[in-house]
Amino acid sequence: MGTRSVNHSNIELIISKNKLTDPKHVAGAFNNYFFDTARQLINTHLDKKPLNLSVQKIHPKTLFMYPATSEELSRILKELSNRYSMGVDEIPDAIIKVSATFIVEPLTDIVNSTFESGVFPNNLKTAKGTPLHKKGAKIDIANYRPVSVFQASAKLWKTIFLRQQILPS
């Protein structure tokens, strides 16, 4: 299908002069490295001004979401990629996309119930993370970057949210 397969079970890293070969230790090292890198970036940018986005504000401490329509969700589902990469739910975007006709109504009900309750489901906040080698020595953890794959349903919520909250300037 034009996708490349990556075998992560044979990644070896050198961390503090120790060679890591056990996949669980390698995964833990990547997790720690990416988490620490993100924390450093956040701390570095806390003093800077936030991006100036045109955001519709009704009240500073509230957020209003219009109910989603099945037509809106159908359009978003059609925009999903035809890839077979999967999030933690192990359902490829391509399968969700071809199933759109059958799942759009229940999905619309679920999306709208989360908008009404104001609670975003915890399981949609989780992504499948994969280290991707950039360049240089493969044993150097700094030569990798994280790639996060979210499940298709999380992408739906995100798209609806952004389309309703970010207004064209």
Domain map of the chain by residue range? 8-165
pTM passes above 0.85: no
Least confident of 33-47, 51-65, 102-116: 51-65
Q: Are 154 and 124 in contact (CB under 8 A)?
A: yes
* Backbone φ and ψ of 34, nearest 5°: -65, -40
Q: What is the pLDDT of residue 109?
A: 95
Helices (H) and strands (E) in the chain — how many of each? 5, 4
**Token pair listed for 90:** 């192990």
Q: 81-108, pLDDT tens digit by residue? A: 888 888 888 999 999 999 999 999 999 9
Closest CA to 163 of 37, 92, 71: 71
Q: Are 88 and 148 in contact (CB under 8 A)?
A: no
Confidence of residue 24 (pLDDT cuts 50, 70, 90): very high
CA dist 169 and 152 (Å) reads 28
